[in-house]
Structure 1
């Protein structure tokens, strides 16, 4: 069997056949006979195709990881979290976020309504403001519901990859009533709505749409201090009356948060040392009935415990607990199990087990 051309030409030819595209003008084929065995020729063609398959996505990943660099402003007076964007922090122009694009139910369409975003920060927290313009404000849907249960409403939010490691991202969403929805995005296991981060939010419905404010305390996110701290960010908005969800930057097919986010650069941002202590004290008493109409004496019992969370560094957190009181943890939601053939799983809500939750949730 004969193959003609050198290895680079073989790669180009394999790319043309399997992708339907054409190599760039200027590629010259030098016809030079090369006698090789049939088995080796198949291996060579397969290797060439493999190189094309690997090289093309890697270029796209590099382009997506570079992204747009956003420069937030350092604010001197923290905004009042009431959902009304009349604070000094939001007096400037919004970020130049052109190119919002839908991802559900249709992909790649320009949204019908405009969304404006501001970012600010100080030594205590990161601040985000959203103005969601709406030509039909009377059709804005909002409810007062439990946490993580307002995805049927209008909502807006962001995904923050604070360490830019491409492994974890914080999802923070809010509806026009200020109801929070949050999740942890892991590159291996996907979204987990069990964690409930400590952050503040507020919403307000006006004559031209609605607005929202979000405050993220620095001690609750993981990042490395420095003069140019860079994080990945992606913004979201859902318009409930049309059922359309859009994002900025655009999420291209086959990619997710870590490959689609833009870069936000903070000047002189220092991480804050995390310290939490939750003491607990409980008292209980019980009686037992050994004979009919007779109870034994009451047996009283007291329990004291404490849970401590301390940030040793921006990447290492000490979590310790002694005799934890899990009776105060949010109870499991009611589930109907009639004719249920599969086991019911509940989200983890115990504080001690929330730190580093993604390390123990393995894919599959």
Structure 2
């Protein structure tokens, strides 16, 4: 009890101190600027030479303010942006001067991979309502970055891909970038004769100090960056045209798998599909797909999954779901489209009109995978049946500071259904303060026999439970996943999340409350916790260095949280303290300390009770991490974690050591090597429990901005000590496990939807030695798609 009071006192003291000491004065920001975009006519070739006469009449804007890491200081280098439009295309050019062009950081890269390079670009709020903005950046080699910034959800994503042109070249004076943004790919209010768009022009200048240079004054005391954009007028009578993209594609492949007789079983597959993207009106976009190839082409980043009770999260990569994905965001992750595996069709409508935003999509799926949540574990269940899924998301902007929303998700098959309905809101109480909430209600029905896939073998103990029906077959061992899915009838539940956040130049503090009761399910999303409510109080203090010092900013952070189940039984309470500092060469160093009380595995697996059925362990953990870019093209990252950790399999406290390293090395303009290493070890009762090693190596040769070849090797080497497992027969434990996955991929991309992929992948495994690795699966695949644009 003393520890709990002490932790709560420390966290509360930090919050109270921030309220009392936070500065009351606000620096006076410069007034917003307004400029007109020049109107031109005639052909423009995007080649980064700027030799057309139209560029002489373009609107010129200086980028002369360093907004990060410094507080709106004069830029040490000169940057000019040229803007013009012809009613159909928005043309931009940047003249980025540099006294030392040989130090320019620029490499040939795939789309959205140029972060950390020298880049220039633009942020555009086409509705000028401070809710969301497009972002377009280009490095000196012409490699593109594009994405969406959403002020309502406070999320930034590079997953959105537009079809636009760019070129770049390094010169004796620096570099030049030229961009052409077709208006057909932008959502804007076509009913206005003259457009007024929020605009920010940006340059990223990474040297000893990584400078963000802009044309606007960015007030650190205003947490809303989109609220500070300048206004650009022009585009008189602009129309989006037909805004139609039709993209047929063909996917073919052959897969082989070794059978029990050590022979290869082969299967081939060839499928044609059709994708359509149509601007029904200037405000409403339709995405549709028939018989799509919804597979991911490139290998996911490798993750260790050992001594972990919860399902892993993987990001979405498929274009149909990524286009305008921000329309479906909310405080909870209710739309996790990786759940939808192999649909026969999909259709999605997104649009904005005045203060209204709407998103709807429907799909069917040949398979049905469901995340089964809990408060001590989660897992994925499968139903051998097709399913249909649908989402409705609506948002209303009331004034400049209030956003209200509604969301419904549905997933159903023959004996299964899940529906979620909810409301949410976001209120900007002041320049510094924001309040958000979301309330959800769900109805769910599971197949009667779905629990069987989680039943273990309990032939020694039998299968009985005082609270549940008897098993329908012998030797079923109850556990949390069985109890969460053993449902005779439909059931319902609710979830609620609320947060208050203050953010000014020096202080950030927050209070959040998050509750999902035991009956709540959000099966189309990534909801891994239920029977779970959590309170968090935290904050941090920020400091900034003056220009020319070895460090640029520093932060001291702490939070305290406590978690219970629906019955008020304690699951976790935790105090975190973190100190970090950012410095030259894009470096940072961070140290964290965590002290938490956390319950282990349930003793009686047939009961969901926490009190009297679990052991409360106290963990102390330390983490040291850092990153630096010491020379051109080299990035080094390391993370060291040391401290107590629960051994969930054996329900005891152990000692965990984990060391992660990542090396990114651009050998030259074309060739990049990335190696990620993870070492994790758990000891308990003065002996080793397991040691796991993971190596993820990716070598990419980028021929130009359109094509590359990549080799991926993922090697997992796990050793277990069978004699240090308390409840499992040592003979049932694999003491050694090794597997190797490889992929060789060639890609040629004219734009995000006109692509050609050719690849080979295989999988090897062994129990003892690396030399014993044996190939068990192999595949060849090819994909071709062409975007017809009108």
TM-score bucket (shorter structure):
0.7 to 0.9
Change (3 A) 1:163 1:330: farther
Choose which of 197, 208, 215 in structure 2 pairs with 1:248.
215
Choose which of 221, 245, 248 in structure 1 pairs with 2:186.
221
Other-structure match for 1:88:
53
Q: Is the 8 A contact 1:115 1:131 kept in 2?
A: yes
By how many angstroms is 1:91 displaced?
1.5
Matched, 1:154 2:118: yes
Q: Is the 8 A contact 2:60 2:81 kept in 1?
A: yes
Report the Cα distance in structure 2 between the residues aligned to 1:362 and 1:129, rounded to whole angstroms: 36
Written as runs of structure 1 = structure 2, the 5 A alignment for 1:153-172 is 153-172=117-136
Other-structure match for 1:231:
197
Q: Is the 8 A contact 1:224 1:271 kept in 2?
A: no
- Give the structure with the larger helix fraction: 1
Report the Cα distance in structure 2 between the residues aligned to 1:107 and 1:316, rounded to whole angstroms: 40
Report the Cα distance in structure 2 between the residues aligned to 1:286 and 1:143, rounded to whole angstroms: 35
Choose which of 291, 307, 317 in structure 2 pairs with 1:323.
291
By how many angstroms is 1:343 displaced?
6.4
Report the Cα distance in structure 2 between the residues aligned to 1:340 and 1:171, rounded to whole angstroms: 40
Choose which of 70, 73, 85 in structure 1 pairs with 2:35.
70
Matched, 1:310 2:278: yes
Q: Is the 8 A contact 1:72 1:264 kept in 2?
A: yes
**SS of corresponding position for 2:288:** strand
Deviations 1:247-276 (A, max 9, x none): 121111124432111111112222222212
By how many angstroms is 1:76 displaced?
1.5
Other-structure match for 1:115:
79
Other-structure match for 2:44:
79
Report the Cα distance in structure 2 between the residues aligned to 1:332 and 1:300, rounded to whole angstroms: 21
Deviations 1:116-136 (A, max 9, x none): 111111133111111111222
Report the Cα distance in structure 2 between the residues aligned to 1:94 and 1:344, rounded to whole angstroms: 49
Choose which of 85, 93, 100 in structure 2 pairs with 1:129.
93
**SS of corresponding position for 1:309:** strand
By how many angstroms is 1:294 displaced?
7.2
Q: Which has the higher contact order (CA 8 A, sep 6+)?
A: 1
Other-structure match for 1:33:
none
Change (3 A) 1:77 1:331: same
**SS of corresponding position for 1:158:** strand
Deviations 1:56-113 (A, max 9, x none): 99xx99x96xx32221122222322111222222113652447x32122112211101
Report the Cα distance in structure 1 between the residues aligned to 2:305 and 2:317, rounded to whole angstroms: 25
**SS of corresponding position for 2:170:** strand
Other-structure match for 1:271:
240
Choose which of 357, 361, 364 in structure 1 pairs with 2:325.
357
Choose which of 302, 316, 323 in structure 2 pairs with 1:335.
302
Q: Is the 8 A contact 1:124 1:218 kept in 2?
A: yes
By how many angstroms is 1:363 displaced?
3.3
Change (3 A) 1:324 1:206: same
Structure 1 vs Structure 2 CA RMSD:
3.2
Q: Is the 8 A contact 2:37 2:85 kept in 1?
A: yes
- Give the structure with the larger strand fraction: 2
Q: TM-score, normalized by length of structure 2? A: 0.36
Q: Is the 8 A contact 2:46 2:179 kept in 1?
A: yes
Q: Is the 8 A contact 2:87 2:237 kept in 1?
A: no
By how many angstroms is 1:216 displaced?
0.8
Q: TM-score, normalized by length of structure 1? A: 0.74
Q: Is the 8 A contact 2:160 2:324 kept in 1?
A: no
Q: Is the 8 A contact 1:74 1:120 kept in 2?
A: yes
Unaligned runs of 5+ in 1: 1-17, 22-55
Report the Cα distance in structure 2 between the residues aligned to 1:349 and 1:335, rounded to whole angstroms: 15
Change (3 A) 1:262 1:344: farther
Change (3 A) 1:103 1:309: same
Written as runs of structure 1 = structure 2, the 5 A alignment for 1:274-289 is 274-283=243-252
Deviations 1:124-161 (A, max 9, x none): 31111111112222222211123222222211111011
**SS of corresponding position for 1:359:** helix
Report the Cα distance in structure 2 between the residues aligned to 1:87 and 1:345, rounded to whole angstroms: 49
Report the Cα distance in structure 2 between the residues aligned to 1:157 and 1:85, rounded to whole angstroms: 16
Report the Cα distance in structure 2 between the residues aligned to 1:88 and 1:189, rounded to whole angstroms: 41
By how many angstroms is 1:286 displaced?
6.5
Report the Cα distance in structure 2 between the residues aligned to 1:355 and 1:304, rounded to whole angstroms: 21
**SS of corresponding position for 1:252:** coil
